[in-house]
A and B are shown apart, each in its own frame.
Chain A
């Protein structure tokens, strides 16, 4: 199951939220040992950007736990790339409602790197992100990532254009640019395989409610207003 969850709705999925912040701690603190990463007293990793109402794209397992995730924010607000990495984007503070930033891409360390699910998680996350962006009229994603991820993007058929790169004590980092197109979205769906076939679960979403659920057949398709009028 791929979930698209607003920060303000995370509380509805406490296990999912806790396991995501736990897995982020494992990936960015324990494994990659980034200096800037701080954990709270429960060993969870979150930062100031988690408080700016981002949207999380999350792959969830059958038990409702986190398998992988990414964080999306519009570049019209405060972003990591503007705050710390504008030297990788030609000195330009990228800022437009048509450009979103992706950060904290994470695959759960619980999954063995070679497992079928683990290999499909990056494609599933990007598939969901592309779908949301397309629906929202957004044209580009930007992200800062370690150069070794270029292999992953290439493997899932969504290689970014590299806007800039630099060597850091932790390794080479890149600023990447993804153009959002339906072609790539569909390719990602195919790479995500079974994870994408179940569809996307949006929170808040139509699925939570009786009205406007996509199940309605043509014959039962009524506007919200007329349905309500009949109900009352």
Chain B
């Protein structure tokens, strides 16, 4: 189990405002020992348009957040860089965005094409503004055209960066999707959050784990393999917007999905 994800569950399971995202960003940044953590939604759904452009500070005095039209970002980058990126419309020439928009696999920035003049300029400016020489981006694609990226950056050697990614790639995918879910919750773009519907089997596996059984016991009792149990639990976790299994159980109980405990 990941300490970072457990830490998020224990201390920050439910950010209530965009400012609160700063604490989440800080937490991930410290947990992974990277320099920057950022989130940028270029679409939160085909019909989502913010009435006014806005910028603000994040809690814990980390970076800032901004939104305009359909996009929303929050980042530990210096305010100056975030604003410059938005004002210049850099997302239109950024190879990270260009690749992420048509891909579901995470991207090591080093593997992208930065050769053209515009891209070199962008990269040089980013380095000048303290973004770092390494980047890794997890794309998030949701229903109704939702598209966001979750990014970590640092200044280090290629080797160190590859090791860091290898160690944390799994956690990064989960953290990215969690962050996106929290932004959807906070911006409340879909009105009341729809009730999560879990299938009976997903309820069974969560209930068994909530009762304190370990995975192999729970799988044995339910007459399924342990890996089958793992995919059922993970589907339930994802649908509940939980960051790990304890969080999924807590949400399941709060939402009245898990009964009889």
List chain A positions with a Cβ less than 8 A from chain B.
6-8, 53, 55, 73-77, 86, 90-99, 132, 135-140, 142, 161, 163, 177, 179, 202, 204-206, 208-212, 221, 223-226, 228-229, 231-232
List residues of chain A with CB within 8 A of the CB of B170.
98, 137, 139
Structural contact, B235 and A228, CB atoms closer than 8 A: no
**Chain B contacts with A in 155-206, Cβ cutoff 8 A:** 155, 157-159, 169-174, 176-177, 199-202
Main secondary structure of the interface of B (DSSP, over half): helix
Structural contact, A96 and B158, CB atoms closer than 8 A: no
Nearest Cβ on chain A to B148's Cβ, whole angstroms: 12
Our count of residue pairs bridging A and B at CB distance below 8 angstroms stands at 142
Structural contact, A93 and B105, CB atoms closer than 8 A: no
Q: Which of B105, B227, B231 has the most CB of A within 10 A?
A: B231
Structural contact, A224 and B123, CB atoms closer than 8 A: yes
Question: Could you tell me the distance between the alpha carbons of A206 and B114 in the complex, rounded to whole angstroms?
Answer: 11
List residues of chain A with CB within 8 A of the CB of B134.
223
User: Given A211-B115, A223-B157, A225-B123, do A136 and B231 touch, yes or no (CB 8 Å)?
Assistant: no
Q: How large is the interface on B (under 10, 10 to 19, 20 to 34, 35 or more residues)?
A: 35 or more
Structural contact, A7 and B102, CB atoms closer than 8 A: yes
List chain B positions with a Cβ less than 8 A from chain A.
99, 102-106, 109-115, 120, 123-124, 127, 133-134, 141-143, 155, 157-159, 169-174, 176-177, 199-202, 224-225, 227-228, 230-232, 234-235, 237-239
Question: Could you tell me the distance between the alpha carbons of A91 and B238 in the complex, rounded to whole angstroms?
Answer: 16
Structural contact, B113 and A163, CB atoms closer than 8 A: no
Structural contact, B199 and A212, CB atoms closer than 8 A: no
Question: Could you tell me the distance between the alpha carbons of A229 and B121 in the complex, rounded to whole angstroms?
Answer: 10
Smallest Cβ-Cβ distance to B238: which chain A residue: A96
User: Given A55-B105, A74-B104, do A98 and B173 touch, yes or no (CB 8 Å)?
Assistant: yes
